[in-house]
Structure 1
Amino acid sequence: MNIQQLSPYIRIAMDSYIPSPWYLEERVLFDYELLYVKEGRIQVTIENDVFIGEPGDLFLFRPKQRHSIRKLGTGLVRQPHLHFDLFYKEDSPDVKVSFKKLEDMTEDEMKWFRNDDLEQIAPRIPGHIRLRNTLVIERLIFDIIKEFQMTLPFYEMNIKGLFLQLLNVLLRENYWNRNPHLVTNMGEMEQLRLFLKHNIARKVTLDELSKMSGISKYYMISLFKQSFGMSPIQYHLLQRIEKAKEMIQFTNDPLMLIAESTGFPDIHSFSKAFKKIDGVNPSFYRKK
């Protein structure tokens, strides 16, 4: 799945209030559904797994995934939910919300099933998520529902933007849940990132960063890479090259002076590092 090409289509966005008693029999969906438990308790069966949904819990139902929902207790259950496609298709407006089992589908209905593109994203989003960041996700879900119901001019564009924010928060939430050690050390990692960003005029060493963070060198490298997608030295080099690129384009300073200003001892090492990061020589931006 190419995240850059995401173009979500929201089929249904509603805030449901469920009285007693209530039971949604087993079914499969053509699309995805996100169900948020705002109030009350529910029992959700996904394939062969049974979960108890409490306020603040989120459920993800995937295309063709067997599931059923049962209300628990005598109080009111409130469960705002969204049905969506990750990618808009020509038949997206025609696809309905299913309440059927797979074996009861017609031949035409079988053509409506979406691909489970979320399966390609690691770590895999589970069917039941006990959220840490409930306020942000809840706000985004209700903002989408409001836009969907009001249908103001260009509401489709706003809904897509809100949903992409929601998906981003959900993916990060899942990532942090799977990597709790990163959450524990995020303060130290952010301190290192800011230090690297604001010290581009010289080289830094791993020993220096390890001493600053109070974390052993090799574990610090691993934590930084898991947090920001690259090692601290790679991140620092990228910041130095970005600053150099800016100076080349918007000042008349000689390349040698720019190299020295960004911590390179000579023009050769500067050009080599620049080409490694950007794919072209520094003079390319001066010509532009």
Structure 2
Amino acid sequence: MSSIHPLSMASPYIRIAHDFHTEENMRIGPTRIVDHALHYFKEGDGVYTVGNRPTTIKAGSLFLIRPGVPFSFSASPGTRFHMYNLHFDLIEQEDSAAITFPYPKQGEPQRVPLPCCLPDEQEMPVSGLPSSVPLVETATYEQLFFRILQRFGQPNTIALLQSKSAMLELLALLLRQTENQHASSTSDGTYETHLSHAVAFIQSRLHEPISLDDIAKAAQMSKSYLLKCFRNIYRLSPIKFVMKQRIERAKCELLYTSKPIKTIAGETGFDSIHSFYHTFQREVGTSPGAYRALAHSTALQQEEPE
């Protein structure tokens, strides 16, 4: 009988949601926190160390830090980071609201016991989340982060529930991608490597036409094997995966920029505004303009005092 994953019991308390640019040559730690953190690097490069394992930071890198685990990171000389920063308790505790700053100050009482912790890949080899998360769907992650950020700190029940829901979706995304990575690995690791090349190619060219031949060439796989891999791991064909990523990127642009819809259509690889409208309506259930208006209307309502 399979055991219940700890995420199935999650009711997250979000402590910090922050979109920020660091100073040049930023360095943090070694230090520890009393909650979980997700550090997503939108831009920049450097080195991130969890415990005693260093990992290279590049655009799109994501790191999961657990309570009490030592970590540090630093930017490469002369560079800075653009980061999306989340701190949270997996399950809301009696002291969650009282802990406003997750870095314990010297001489102050520690948080004892530390809150419920997400299992890692050693505790749960198939479905534990590693400290360096193999993030594939960066556009989806960014959209979920901004859903949380948009509602963070709003003093009403609807916004609280919406932010919890988005946080759970984000954690489910990470778990699904980690399980997919595990399922895709083989004895020599080539399956996973080729797929990562395919996805990186797609993510970097969403503004351009992308064919199945293009993806297969980037992955160095036959088209038939590429189709089999994508359907096994992502439950989508490569072309459907491309379309999903285009729509997720378009959602982010509609929500968090004031770009004209025609511009967004071009930047997400649609050859005409009519094709964009038709596809967006089919995939999302509403038009791009209505999606943008609804999101902005919701945000304004949440800013009004109760």
1:154-169 pair list within 5 angstroms? 154-169=158-173
Partner of 1:26: 30
> Deviation of residue 25 (structure 1)?
1.8
1:89-100 pair list within 5 angstroms? 89-100=93-104
Check whether the contact 2:134–2:177 (CA below 8 A) recurs between aligned residues. Answer: no
1:17-56 pair list within 5 angstroms? 17-56=21-60
Q: 2: distance between equivalents of 1:3 and 1:82?
A: 17
**Aligned residue pairs: how many?**
190
> Deviation of residue 36 (structure 1)?
0.5
Partner of 1:180: 184
1:112-261 pair list within 5 angstroms? 113-119=114-120, 121=124, 122-148=126-152, 154-180=158-184
Q: What amino acid is the match of 2:128? A: R
> Deviation of residue 42 (structure 1)?
2.8
Q: What amino acid is the match of 2:119? A: L
> Deviation of residue 99 (structure 1)?
3.3
- What SS does the aligned partner of 1:51 have? strand
Query: Taking structure 1 as reference, are residues 127 and 181 closer, same or farther at Cα in structure 2, changes over 3 Å only?
Result: closer
Q: 2: distance between equivalents of 1:54 and 1:46?
A: 16
Structure 1, gaps ≥5 residues long:
185-213, 216-222, 229-288
Query: Taking structure 1 as reference, are residues 4 and 21 closer, same or farther at Cα in structure 2, changes over 3 Å only?
Result: closer
Query: Taking structure 1 as reference, are residues 98 and 10 closer, same or farther at Cα in structure 2, changes over 3 Å only?
Result: closer
Q: What amino acid is the match of 1:118? A: P
Query: Taking structure 1 as reference, are residues 175 and 4 closer, same or farther at Cα in structure 2, changes over 3 Å only?
Result: closer
Max Rg structure? 1
Identity of aligned residues (%): 25
Q: 2: distance between equivalents of 1:81 and 1:112?
A: 24
Q: For residues 161-183 of structure 1, what are the alpha-carbon distances to aligned partners after superposition, in whole Å with 9 as ceiling and x for unaligned?
A: 00111011110000111111699
> Deviation of residue 74 (structure 1)?
2.2
Partner of 1:241: none
Q: 2: distance between equivalents of 1:58 and 1:91?
A: 27
Check whether the contact 1:41–1:73 (CA below 8 A) recurs between aligned residues. Answer: no
Q: 2: distance between equivalents of 1:4 and 1:147?
A: 23
> Deviation of residue 126 (structure 1)?
1.1
Larger helix proportion of the pair: 1
Aligned-residue CA RMSD (Å): 3.2
Q: For residues 182-223 of structure 1, what are the alpha-carbon distances to aligned partners after superposition, in whole Å with 9 as ceiling and x for unaligned?
A: 999xxxxxxxxxxxxxxxxxxxxxxxxxxxxx99xxxxxxx9
Check whether the contact 2:128–2:175 (CA below 8 A) recurs between aligned residues. Answer: no
Query: Taking structure 1 as reference, are residues 180 and 11 closer, same or farther at Cα in structure 2, changes over 3 Å only?
Result: same
Q: 2: distance between equivalents of 1:227 and 1:71?
A: 33
Structure 2, gaps ≥5 residues long:
193-223, 226-230, 236-306
